[in-house]
Amino acid sequence: MAASVDLSRVTFIVLREMRRPILAIIIVYSLAIAGMIIMPGPVVNGETQYLSIFHAFYFMTYTATTTGFGEIPFSFSNAQRSWAIVCLYISVITWFYAIGSIIRLIQNPYLAKALAEHEFSNKVERISSDFIIICGFGDTGSVLARGLSDARLTAVVIDSNEERIKALKLRDYKVPMPGLFADASVPKHLIEAGIRRADCKAIVSVTSNEETNLKISAVARILNPNIDVITKSKVEIWEETLATIGGKVHIIDPFKTYAQLLASSIEQRYFYSFNNWLVGDKSTELNQPLCPPKDGLWIICGFGRMGQEIKRALNKKGLKTAIIDPQPISPDEDNVETFVLGLTTARTLKLAGIEQAVGIVTGTDDDGQNVSILLNARSINPHIFTVLRQNSHENAVAFKAAKADMIMQPSLVAARRIMLLLKAPLLKPFFKYFVANHDRVHEMNDVISWVQESVGDKVPLVTSFHVTQKNAKALVGFLENDLFQLGDLLKDPRDRTQLLDLVVLVVKSTGESVEVLPGSNYSVKINDQLLLCGTDFSYRLFQATVNNEYKLYHVRTGLRQPRSYFMQWYVRKIGREGL
């Protein structure tokens, strides 16, 4: 429907711009042809010859192309030649006028926009699999698109910056990623992006404007009440509004997310590295756990949204905090050991207690200032634990060279959080299981060793698998009459004595019951959701097993199920003992 509307707009613009040139050409050629018919030609055998309509049209046609085949079907008279001269000059002027109009039409920004929307709508209509709409192609959107491409999930991108959409078209994605230069908060553009389609699973709003994100989320909820809405927000008042629009709404606050990650890393040594490893961070090594200090003073430089969230997270862990900020803090702010008013310098760092501090957070919105704070802090206290905020993705090389213990990039944190929500929403109860109980440190270490042994040095695949007729036809048919244990399901169909490089971290059954780290004796049920972690190749073998009744029978029993009618009859008649 959207494609036909865009095509109508294109047709309207073309007709509006070319109406006068086309009419001018029609009138000039009609008069020229009529004149050539009326003009008397040479006298042959006492009769004056005249051109027919066809010959007059043929003559005007080939002269328009400057081909010049000559005078046909006979030599012209002087009257015909005089009229031909007049027609040639007038037609040339008319064609110059028409060509100028065509050039203006090509340069018309409204036509270019209509053509782009028409092409975009056609690309969206050709998407045959599930897809996601991304509104905003800044740092967060581009990182998210790359992650979705690596996971072979299709996305449709809308951004109000034309240069970003041009950059999108130059990326080497593994799946289609159509993009449109438009305002995503306009309902028409969301419809063109396919928001009303059943295979549109979610809309992600990650623009740099909080109000725009709110509008997109509200419009998306109206256009498709069943769609998942994921929105990035850094302001509490907008989060409160977003939470009331109804349906499934996931509000991504990168500062709150990172503060929780820092707090969890204090209790669980492997939590930070394991979390980064699961989202595909190739620079993370699981055998090098992060150890933020559990006791002592932390200095927070910059008391914006990031500083506030980290302070709350540290206070919940019983840690003391000192704050340095050029703006006075609210008198209601509690649990502040020391507050220093002013910019962060060597002097203010000493006033905050940098010599005795165990950790420092550089949380301003200026990358240069954050690096400067880091250097000052290290010069005074070389052993301090450092958390460095990186605002721009372009500064990645410099921040990597700074070798901070933890680097917080809001766009990357938000993109990874969204990616896990789309690919593996069951990771939330998985991590909650370990964070809720600090005595599960050894259990988490065992899980990490178990997963690392299965995956090795490859980039891990973390995904959710829903046991439905669509995804696991053979398995669902089997479960309707019998039980199937999870351990059998994870056997290699090529050699059932070997296990696939695949681990089930969480199982969510009908009724919202969640089981973390289910054993091999767990009986799989229809509509179960499995959180899988492993290699891409093993996951493909797993998919082949659950959709093939012969492979399913083999991994469960170790026997080969006969396929031909004769062998099936033979087994029933003779029995397997005779095979």
Q: Which residue has the higher pLDDT, 499 or 444?
A: 499
DSSP 576: G
* In contact, 479 and 526? CB cutoff 8 Å: yes
Whether the predicted pLDDT of 408 surpasses 60: yes
Residues 214-234 have a mean pLDDT of 88
CA atoms within 13 A on the CB side of 293: 19
In this predicted structure, what is the pLDDT of residue 62?
87
DSSP 577: G
Lowest mean pLDDT among 25-34, 267-276, 338-347: 267-276
pLDDT classification of 370: cutoffs 50, 70, 90: very high
Q: What percent of the chain has pLDDT over 70?
A: 89
Dist CA 193 CA 117 (whole Å): 10
Dist CA 134 CA 154 (whole Å): 10
In this predicted structure, what is the pLDDT of residue 373?
93
pTM of the model: 0.76
In this predicted structure, what is the pLDDT of residue 579?
45
The H or E element containing residue 294 is none
DSSP 537: H
pLDDT classification of 115: cutoffs 50, 70, 90: confident
Note the pLDDT tens digit of each residue in 137-147.
988 899 899 88
Note the pLDDT tens digit of each residue in 372-391.
999 999 999 999 999 999 98
In this predicted structure, what is the pLDDT of residue 439?
65
Residues 29-33 have a mean pLDDT of 92
321 forms beta bridges with 298
Q: Which residue has the higher pLDDT, 567 or 189?
A: 189
pLDDT classification of 572: cutoffs 50, 70, 90: low
Whether the predicted pLDDT of 4 surpasses 60: no
Q: Which residue has the higher pLDDT, 442 or 394?
A: 394
Whether the predicted pLDDT of 325 surpasses 60: yes
Residues 404-418 have a mean pLDDT of 88
In this predicted structure, what is the pLDDT of residue 1?
47
In this predicted structure, what is the pLDDT of residue 573?
61
What domains are defined for the chain?
2-109 (1.10.287), 127-252 (3.40.50.720), 255-422 (3.40.50.720), 435-572 (3.30.70.1450)
Whether the predicted pLDDT of 285 surpasses 70: no
In this predicted structure, what is the pLDDT of residue 559?
72
SS3 of residue 301 by DSSP: strand
Whether the predicted pLDDT of 225 surpasses 50: yes
